[in-house]
Structure 1
Amino acid sequence: MITVLLFAQLQEVVGKERIQVDASELTVTELKEKLKSKYNIPQVDQVMTAINEEYALPDDLITSGDIVALIPPVSGG
């Protein structure tokens, strides 16, 4: 089980601040595709990803027990 933490507009789209993904192993890209399909999050490709509080690349591996944070871009003013 992988825990995914959602921030800002991602929370609004999904309606939760955290979700559980039933998988033993996924890449960051595979996780984003799974979330895009299940929760209809079109902007998920543009979010920063962190695995266990370390920024991650698209091909980085996420394993069961990891905590993934999806952090959308912040617009300043």
Structure 2
Amino acid sequence: MTLEVLYFAWLRERVGHPRESVATDAATVRDLVAQLAAQSDGHAAALDDLATLRCAVDQKLVDLDTPLAGAREVAFFPPMTGG
């Protein structure tokens, strides 16, 4: 499958671009993170601390063990604060 992967805030800065299309066989978001982290040093730096990583699949907040079957978009961003 091909996913549109979006990066926000400091993740975007470390990866070096805001979005990319990724061909993957990843079963879960966690599998996708491992695949992306292996792509480049920037990806590895952005995705190295899973505790500071939030994600959404098709614009719905999910955890890292969420299946990707049928997904079209995955977004990664840092934790958010309210105010």
Greater shift in the superposed pair: 30-39 or 67-76: 67-76
Give the direction of change, closer, same or farther, for the CA distance of 1:56–1:65 in structure 2 (3 Å limit): closer
SS of 1:34's partner is: helix
Give the direction of change, closer, same or farther, for the CA distance of 1:72–1:59 in structure 2 (3 Å limit): same
TM-score of the superposed pair, with normalisation by structure 1: 0.79
Shift of 1:20: 1.5
Residue equivalent to 1:62: 68
Greater shift in the superposed pair: 53-62 or 2-11: 53-62
- AA of the residue aligned to 1:20: S
Aligned Cα root-mean-square deviation (Å): 2.1
Residue equivalent to 2:44: 40
- AA of the residue aligned to 2:44: N
Aligned length: 75
Segments of 5+ residues of structure 1 without an aligned counterpart are none
Q: Hey, which of these two has a bigger chunk of strand by percent?
A: 1
Identity %: 28
TM-score of the superposed pair, with normalisation by structure 2: 0.75
- AA of the residue aligned to 2:53: V
Segments of 5+ residues of structure 2 without an aligned counterpart are none
Greater shift in the superposed pair: 57-66 or 22-31: 57-66
